[in-house]
A = this chain, B = another copy of it.
Amino acid sequence: MTSTDRPGSPRHTRQRTEIRQAVEDQETFATAQEIHDRLRHDGSGVGLATVYRTLQGLAAAGELDAIRTPDGQVAYRTCSPGHHHHLICRSCGRTVEVSIPSLETLIRALAAEQGFAQVEHELEFYGTCTDCARA
């Protein structure tokens, strides 16, 4: 075992590549099942479990953003780095990334005030975008 062989370096497999590609092609947040459907539809033979496992891994590694949809499913998307939130169209899934520096400041103040440490937050916005509102 060499130092480049340390556990944690994921192996480069066909499936992993396919999955990462599928998520990148997706302009909206997609669930593991949706990614799986897409891949199968495109002729890939990936297993559903592999999609679940791989997406989790990529999200844990910070290569993907994971959110929990209002109905409880987990959805993934390739995002720009750094902490940010999302404004998502309920109808078409169109997503806008938003960063709210003032919120982060506010949270630090809140945490200090209430004596809480390691405060994390997750904030997503759901609305209807212009195009969908018009339809």
Contacts and interface: CB of A to CB of B under 8 A. Distances in A.
A100 interface: yes
Contacts of A126: 119-121
B106 A125 contact: no
A128 interface: yes
A9 interface: no
| A contact residues, range | 20 to 34
Q: How many copies does the complex hold?
A: 2
A130 B129 CA distance: 42
Contact of A119 (B74, B87, B100, B114): B87
30 contacts: A68-B68, A68-B70, A72-B72, A87-B110, A87-B111, A87-B114, A87-B116, A89-B116, A96-B114, A96-B116, A98-B110, A100-B106, A102-B102, A103-B103, A103-B106, A107-B125, A114-B129, A115-B130, A116-B125, A116-B129, A116-B130, A117-B128, A117-B130, A118-B128, A119-B126, A120-B126, A121-B125, A121-B126, A122-B123, A122-B124
Interface of A: 68, 70, 72, 74, 87, 89, 96, 98, 100, 102-103, 106-107, 110-111, 114-130, 133
